[in-house]
Amino acid sequence: MRITSSGLSADIDLDAIDLFDPGFYATGDPHPVWKLMREKAPAHRQTLPDGRSFLSVTRYADVSTVLRDHTRFTSRRGTVLSVLGGTDPAGNKMLAASDPPVHTAMREPLNRVMSFTALEAQKPRVKRLVHRMLAPLADGGTFELAAAATAFPMAFTGLLMGLPEEDLDDLARLATMAVAPEDAMFQEGEVGENLVTAHHELFEYLAERVGPSAGQDNLIGYLVGMDAGGRRLRHDEIVFNSYSMLLGANATTPHSIAATVLALIEHPEQYARLREDPELVASAVEEGLRWASPANHFLRHAVTDTEIAGTPVRRGEAVVAWIGSANRDASVFTDPYRFDVGRSPNRHLAFGWGPHYCIGAPLARIALRLLFGELARLVERLEPVGEVEHLTSNFIAGIKRMPVVATLRAGADEVLAAANEENRVPR
């Protein structure tokens, strides 16, 4: 998805815009559309040719309300547009597709192992993976950043889940197929078949991992043994939640990396600030998350007749909260189309809001801070050497190809050469 700073386009016909179309995000630009919606139609209803419909909310306050208020807007029927008109088989079985109290019973024990404090011990491992990701820059050739960014979070998430390293590339590919089944780069058949194939292979793989993982020191083993409100999770609940962890690893982090690097290339003065002041790394990561808004939307369904942004909402109606739009709302973000590595405050919604705030956010922040800290320390300049290609998906605002070359800073060669040497050692 293009990330622009364009102003309002006077010739936009909202009734002609299809926010459901995955292709729109690969080649189009939703930002002028969302800007018009925030100003003129903050709750806009779209009906598809097959009769399915959904209400789009685009203002920060309304998006926050939809995400926060589970008594009016449920997650049980699914959380992404791909399930529009149907039901999600993960409803009330997976953390992301459940509401309190079921959601709370699963989330509270998971919080204990997914907090900043619990994950502190993982920092050395993640830093080694950062160096492994950046090591090819030492060769001076073309570096496919989008591919490297996809592999990076899967590496540390797979490690935490106890998955074999040799399986991770295939799992990353299947996870991308699941969130972008229309993208030709990841297709292995028709769109519907592509989604079914990805789901089948991922669920089959994870179902086989659940038994052997019991009692081991990893996240799948923890799910097997944890107390969820006085009971153990069933086998299908463990598989669904393991699947959610894998998809989470392949959603926010890799596309935030690529979009943030692209923003730093396009705004070299901001990268200069980051290189000169390491204290800006944390705020730069938050700005990258706001800027990228990689989870483009979240879906909810109205529990009862209600209203949002002054618009009546029927019981059972699908409501789509557009995260990318909320994160450009000028009522919350000063000069929202400006990329600013020092932006403060920055109350973005990239990890969601309310009960469903991303449980993996601490891990993602740890990884992103380590990555961008090392990038600023080791790399003087990054330059694009080919076209940036965007993912065909209405859910993930992603980049699938981004070739770059790097000019390294003094001393970086030794750090990256050591990482290259370590990668050659059989493990």
Mean pLDDT of 169-189: 87
* Residue 213, pLDDT score: 57
How far is residue 129's CA from residue 110's CA, in Å, rounded to a whole number? 24
How far is residue 254's CA from residue 176's CA, in Å, rounded to a whole number? 11
- Which tens digits make up the pLDDT trace of 55-114? 999 999 999 999 999 999 999 999 999 999 998 999 999 999 999 999 999 999 999 999
Residue 270 pLDDT class (50, 70, 90 cuts): very high
Mean pLDDT of 299-328: 98
Cβ–Cβ < 8 Å for 17, 37: no
Mean pLDDT of 190-203: 80
SS3 376: helix
Kindly report the pTM of this predicted structure.
0.95
SS3 246: helix
Instruction: Look at phi and psi of residue 48 and say left if phi exceeds 0, alpha if psi is from -120 to 50, else beta.
Output: beta
Cβ–Cβ < 8 Å for 423, 139: no
Residue 212 pLDDT class (50, 70, 90 cuts): low
Structural domains present in the chain: 14-424 (1.10.630.10)
- Check whether 142 has a pLDDT greater than 50: yes
Cβ–Cβ < 8 Å for 264, 379: no
Residue 427 pLDDT class (50, 70, 90 cuts): very low
Instruction: State percent of the chain over pLDDT 70.
Output: 95
State the CB neighbour count (10 A cutoff) for residue 299.
22
- Of 2, 21, 50, nearest to 395 (Cα)? 21
Query: How long is the chain?
Result: 427
How far is residue 9's CA from residue 186's CA, in Å, rounded to a whole number? 33
How far is residue 406's CA from residue 381's CA, in Å, rounded to a whole number? 6
SS3 71: coil
* Residue 211, pLDDT score: 75
Q: Residues 6 or more apart from 423 whose CB is under 8 A from it?
A: 132, 135
SS3 56: strand
Mean pLDDT of 111-120: 95
Mean pLDDT of 312-318: 98
345 preceded by a cis bond (ω within 30 of 0): yes
* Residue 5, pLDDT score: 59
Mean pLDDT of 200-215: 83
Q: Residues 6 or more apart from 282 whose CB is under 8 A from it?
A: 369
State the DSSP code for 47: E
Cβ-based burial of 381 (10 A; exposed 0-12, middle 13-18, buried ≥19):
middle
More confident residue, 190 or 26: 26
SS3 404: strand
* Residue 335, pLDDT score: 96
Q: What is the DSSP secondary-structure string of 345-364?
A: S----TT--GGG--TTHHHH
- Which tens digits make up the pLDDT trace of 356-375? 999 999 999 999 999 999 99
- Check whether 324 has a pLDDT greater than 60: yes
How far is residue 265's CA from residue 381's CA, in Å, rounded to a whole number? 8
Residue 274 pLDDT class (50, 70, 90 cuts): very high
Mean pLDDT of 399-417: 93
Mean pLDDT of 299-321: 98
Cβ–Cβ < 8 Å for 42, 409: no
* Residue 8, pLDDT score: 60
- Check whether 425 has a pLDDT greater than 60: no
Cβ–Cβ < 8 Å for 194, 186: yes
Average pLDDT, the chain: 92
- Check whether 45 has a pLDDT greater than 70: yes
How far is residue 255's CA from residue 399's CA, in Å, rounded to a whole number? 6
- Of 313, 267, 306, nearest to 288 (Cα)? 267
